[in-house]
Structure 1
Amino acid sequence: MNRIALYPGSFDPVTNGHMDILRQSLALADKVVVAIGIHPGKSPLFSFEERVELIHASARSEFTQEEAERIDVIAFDNLVIETARQQNAAYLVRGLRDGTDLDYEMQMAGMNGTLEPDIRTVFLPASPNVRHITATLVRQIAKMGGEISAFVPEPVAEPLRSRAKPGA
């Protein structure tokens, strides 16, 4: 049996919080598909292709080779549940930082469960050392010239500093 988990998000940029949830996902599934949401109305800091490379580089630097090889990265621009079906995922993985995340994610899990009862949503609690990290705050800190190395994997730090520089 090949247990596939879909881990959707924007990953702009991938953070240590994302890597924490990805690490936990690898313990539960044979393969984890990181699904990067593409929204035509949004202007991400990094292109889809750059995010793919940053995720793969981060996985290679933080996980074993065997673990890194069990990660695929795709784009999606439809319903998450449709993407999960297309990927033959048994699970949707969602990270939780706090009660606010839980309230929102419970609603989403209910809607997704109605649309596709055979795909389960799995909530993974963020580890205490990364619970406070959000990609939005990391982008803001980087844009204001703050130090971001505690919040992102090493392969992400320099590209983020360069991209977020005022006037870049």
Structure 2
Amino acid sequence: MSDGTITHVVVPGTFDPVTLGHVDVIRRTRRLFPRVTVAVAASVNKRGQGTTFTLDERVEMIREALALEGLPDDVEVAPFTGLLVAFAHEIGAGGIVKGLRAMTDFEYELQQADLNSHLSPDLESVFVMSSPQYGYVSSSIVREIASMGSDVSTLVPANVNERLRARYGR
């Protein structure tokens, strides 16, 4: 990154669970940057509750999902705790990539990007729009549908679908 070019970025999230929308954003990010680290947050989810799956389970599910979906082996997956900007510096990333589905995502993510810029002006924030086919998919929607015994196989990778069926039944 000595010439200012960003070669390594972080795609952060709770990924509870990882969806096909997440995989799409990761795939598209990898097309833009030669090195991508998917950073799995240990923290509680956005509603202040504990996560459905443990940190280790989420890391494992993402690794399996990326392999199933044919992403390159050089997409790394790593757990993190604490501030995202500190993690990005720790691994030598020059940017943070966030997927956006709708205007409400943008408002929230812009606030986070502004805060990250305040904390660490050297990190760039990049937004990647989700593909229209995944614009309505979120981890919380997937969990809700799965918890009611409905099929989520078109919303998540096959390995995640199996975990959700094991967790919630059919």
Q: In the alignment, what sits opposite 2:154?
A: 150
Deviation at 1:71, TM superposition (A): 1.5
**What TM-score do you get using the length of structure 1 for normalisation?**
0.91
Q: Deviations over 1:43-101 (max 9, x none)?
A: 3221222111211111111125xx1x112111222111111111111110100001111
- CA distance in 1 between partners of 2:43 and 2:95 (Å): 23
Note the aligned Cα RMSD (angstroms): 1.7
Instruction: Give the number of equivalent residue pairs.
Output: 163
Q: Distance in 2 between matches of 1:96 and 1:23?
A: 14
Quote the offset at 1:4 in angstroms: 1.0
Letter matched to residue 108 of structure 1? Q
Please, which of 61, 68, 83 is the counterpart of residue 87 of structure 2? 83
Runs of 4+ displaced beyond 2 Å: 39-43
> Per the alignment, in what secondary structure is the counterpart of residue 35 of structure 1?
strand
**Does 1:102 pair with 2:109?**
no
> 1:134 matched to which residue of 2?
138
Provide the residue aligned with 1:59 in structure 2. 66
Q: Give 1:33's aligned residue.
A: 37
| Aligned position for 1:15 | 19
Please give the secondary structure, in 1, of the residue aligned with 2:98.
Answer: strand
- Determine what percentage of the aligned residue pairs are the same residue: 37
1:39, distance to aligned residue in structure 2 (A): 2.2
State the 1:42 CA deviation: 4.1
SS in 2 for 1:129: helix
Match of 2:166 among 151, 162, 165: 162
Q: Which moved more, 1:108-117 or 1:131-140?
A: 108-117
